[in-house]
């Protein structure tokens, strides 16, 4: 039973929310990865970079605890040694140039695998046969590939170890790389259930074995490991996971700098050439939005006092309901709501619908009552200058309001401004302007075509 399946089983046994269910699934998958490969830190990073799409204690802590428990359990049964122990020499000056080449080629391999996989899936979708026959057709290709190169079959951990330790000849590595790539792409493209991690490790290590005979500087044993991590990170869109994972598999500290360089180069190449990672493309094709980058919500970075309107027209609490309706909500008035104050202290927010509903309940009696009688101060919603725009936006949505009075503090309730939904748009607009100008260098757009990239209805 896989770790993810175990997490799903636990989620089904207990009444959990959707967020808790997702956390349990990820915790199970990450713990399973830890138990198999002995890489708890890489498993936690994989959860953060690829599965959780967030970094919050409510999800991060359960996953980390699950990986820690799996790591201790694995050490008790199988020891603490690495799965593929390796020791290379410290990198020299020539290694930087070689890392750049390895990173570019690994990124190209990752992009080619992703494009080929979904192109193959589209081709199977066009076949004039029922989808239930697709895996059988894919199995034919897998069988032919296994006949040509039997080492390409199965999980292939032994083959990965041989590639890392240079126990496979160059000619065999070339055949293995080509056959495994075709078999894996066709198998997944036909709808057959299969893994991603181990095949990518084998393909990356195979690429490194092919390249190891040419790069200048350092020993050939380094490049299967470097290309393995770079291909994994570029394909999954998880470079930090790939770097730490490669180190956890080998415990080779001398390889950390080449791993960092090549993996980030490959990730940059894949980011430019691939819209999504191989893991998220299928989900996106089903119509679900997938985050590609992590960032802080612009509303979280700004406080209310930065966007509020400080000069506010207010209604005196002693005015009658009829006078307020005539003066502030007449035919020529366009504002929808005003704060109601008594000696600069907020007692409520008056809008046309609320006052008219109060008046219509008993027109003769209530039209002459003061507007302060309309409000229940216990349910008064307000904002503080030090609160974040995100918190206030949530409060507006929960209460179904369009604006909130801003008070100096909750005790005095002294009016200092008003914040509306239109005010909360300002941080997002500023953020878009910053990002738009930042990204413009990539387009190299002449000034006369600048308007072509202006937002029209939706962000690009």
Buried b (16+ CB within 10 A) or exposed e, 122-160: eebeeeeeeeeebeeebeebbeebeeebebbbeebeebb
Contact yes or no for 324/454 (Cβ under 8 A): no
Look-up: residue for tokens 């240079």? 166
Q: Which two tokens stand for residue 367?
A: 């039209």
Residues in the chain: 460
Domain match, 222 and 175 both: yes
Domain match, 53 and 118 both: no
Torsion of CA 46, 238, 247, 157, to 10 degrees: 80
Q: Which two tokens stand for residue 395?
A: 């409060």
Torsion of CA 32, 35, 37, 42, to 10 degrees: 70
Whether 188 maps to a domain, the answer reads yes
Whether 151 maps to a domain, the answer reads yes
Domain match, 115 and 242 both: yes
Domain match, 28 and 111 both: no
Quick check: helix, strand or coil at residue 404? Answer: strand
Buried b (16+ CB within 10 A) or exposed e, 185-224: bbbbbbbeeeeebbbbbbbbbbbbbbbbeebeebeebbbb
Which of 50, 78, 106 is the last residue in one of the domains?
78
Whole-number pLDDT of residue 16? 63
Whole-number pLDDT of residue 72? 92
How far apart CA 208 and CA 102 sit, in angstroms, is 8
Whether 434 maps to a domain, the answer reads no
Whole-number pLDDT of residue 267? 93
Look-up: residue for tokens 């296994």? 146
Whether 432 maps to a domain, the answer reads no
Whether 68 maps to a domain, the answer reads yes
Domain match, 105 and 204 both: yes
Domain match, 118 and 244 both: yes
Domain match, 129 and 234 both: yes
Domain match, 74 and 175 both: no
Q: Count Cβ atoms below 10 Å from residue 305 Cβ, excluding itself.
A: 16
Which strand (E) or helix (H) includes residue 337? strand 337-342
Domain match, 382 and 275 both: no
Domain match, 329 and 278 both: no
How far apart CA 109 and CA 117 sit, in angstroms, is 12
Residue-range definition of the domain harbouring residue 12 = 3-78
Which of 78, 110, 135 is the last residue in one of the domains?
78
How far apart CA 269 and CA 118 sit, in angstroms, is 19
Whether 459 maps to a domain, the answer reads no
Buried b (16+ CB within 10 A) or exposed e, 161-170: bbbbebebee
Phi, psi of 459 (to 5 degrees): -75, 150
Whole-number pLDDT of residue 11? 52
Whether 454 maps to a domain, the answer reads no
- Partner residues linked to 342 by β-bridges: 345
According to DSSP, the β-strands at 415-420 and 403-407 are antiparallel
For 251-361, where are the alpha helices, taking DSSP H only? Answer: 256-273, 281-285, 304-307, 321-328, 352-361
Phi, psi of 342 (to 5 degrees): -130, 110
Domain match, 245 and 161 both: yes
What is the total count of domains within the chain? 3
Look-up: residue for tokens 């140039």? 97
Whole-number pLDDT of residue 433? 67
The CATH number of residue 353's host domain is 3.10.580.10
Domain match, 152 and 191 both: yes
Per-residue pLDDT tens listing for the chain (460 residues)? 455 555 555 555 556 676 778 888 888 889 988 988 889 999 999 888 888 877 788 888 999 999 999 999 988 888 888 888 888 888 877 788 889 999 999 999 999 998 898 889 889 888 888 888 888 988 899 999 999 998 888 878 889 888 888 888 888 889 999 999 999 999 888 888 777 888 899 999 999 998 887 766 557 888 999 999 999 999 988 899 999 999 999 998 989 999 999 999 999 999 888 877 777 766 666 666 666 566 677 788 889 988 898 888 888 878 877 787 777 777 666 677 788 888 888 888 877 777 777 777 766 666 677 777 777 655 788 899 999 988 999 888 888 888 889 999 888 889 999 998 888 888 877 766 666 665 554 444 444 444 433 333 333 3
Whether 326 maps to a domain, the answer reads yes
Whole-number pLDDT of residue 105? 94
Helices (H) then strands (E): counts for the chain? 19, 5
From 23, 29, 81, 80, select the one nearest 52 (Cα to Cα): 23
């Amino acid at each position: 039973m896989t770790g993810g399946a175990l997490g799903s089983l636990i989620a089904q046994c207990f009444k959990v929310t959707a967020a808790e269910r997702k956390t349990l699934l990820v915790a199970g998958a990450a713990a399973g990865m830890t138990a198999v490969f002995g890489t708890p830190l890489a498993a936690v990073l994989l959860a953060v970079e690829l599965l959780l799409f967030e970094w919050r204690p409510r999800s991060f802590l359960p996953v980390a605890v699950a990986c820690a428990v799996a790591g201790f359990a694995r050490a008790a049964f199988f020891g603490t040694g690495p799965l593929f122990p390796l020791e290379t020499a410290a990198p020299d000056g020539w290694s930087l140039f070689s890392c750049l080449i390895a990173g570019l080629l690994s990124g190209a391999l990752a992009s080619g695998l992703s494009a080929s996989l979904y192109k193959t899936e589209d081709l199977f979708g066009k076949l004039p046969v029922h989808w239930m026959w697709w895996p059988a057709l894919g199995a034919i290709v897998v069988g032919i590939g296994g006949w040509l190169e039997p080492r390409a079959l199965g999980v292939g951990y032994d083959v990965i170890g041989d590639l890392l330790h240079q126990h496979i000849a160059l000619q065999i590595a070339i055949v293995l790389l080509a056959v495994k790539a075709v078999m894996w792409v066709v198998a997944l493209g036909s709808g057959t259930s299969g893994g991603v991690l181990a095949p990518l490790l084998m393909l990356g290590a195979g690429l490194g074995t092919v390249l190891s005979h040419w790069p200048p500087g350092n020993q050939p044993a380094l490049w299967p490991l470097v290309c393995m991590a770079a291909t994994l990170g570029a394909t999954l869109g998880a470079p930090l996971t790939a770097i730490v994972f490669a180190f956890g598999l080998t415990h080779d500290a001398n390889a950390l700098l080449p791993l960092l360089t090549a993996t980030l180069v490959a990730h940059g190449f894949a980011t430019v050439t691939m819209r999504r990672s191989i893991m998220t493309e299928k989900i996106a094709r089903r119509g679900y939005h997938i985050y590609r980058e992590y960032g802080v919500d612009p509303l979280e970075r700004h406080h209310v006092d930065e966007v509020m309107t400080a000069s506010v027209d207010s209604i005196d609490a002693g005015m009658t309901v009829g006078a307020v309706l005539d003066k502030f909500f007449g035919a020529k008035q366009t504002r929808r709501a005003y704060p109601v104050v008594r000696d600069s202290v907020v007692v409520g927010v008056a809008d046309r619908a609320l006052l008219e509903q109060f008046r219509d309940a008993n027109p003769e009696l209530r039209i002459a009552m003061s507007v302060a009688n309309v409000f229940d101060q216990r349910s008064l919603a307000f904002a503080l200058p030090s609160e974040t725009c995100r918190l206030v936006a949530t409060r507006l949505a929960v209460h179904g309001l369009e604006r909130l009075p801003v008070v100096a503090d909750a005790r005095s309730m002294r009016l200092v401004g008003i914040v509306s939904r239109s005010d909360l748009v300002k941080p997002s607009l500023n953020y878009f302007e910053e990002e738009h100008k930042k990204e413009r260098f990539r387009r190299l757009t002449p000034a006369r075509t600048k308007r072509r990239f202006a937002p029209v209805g939706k962000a690009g």
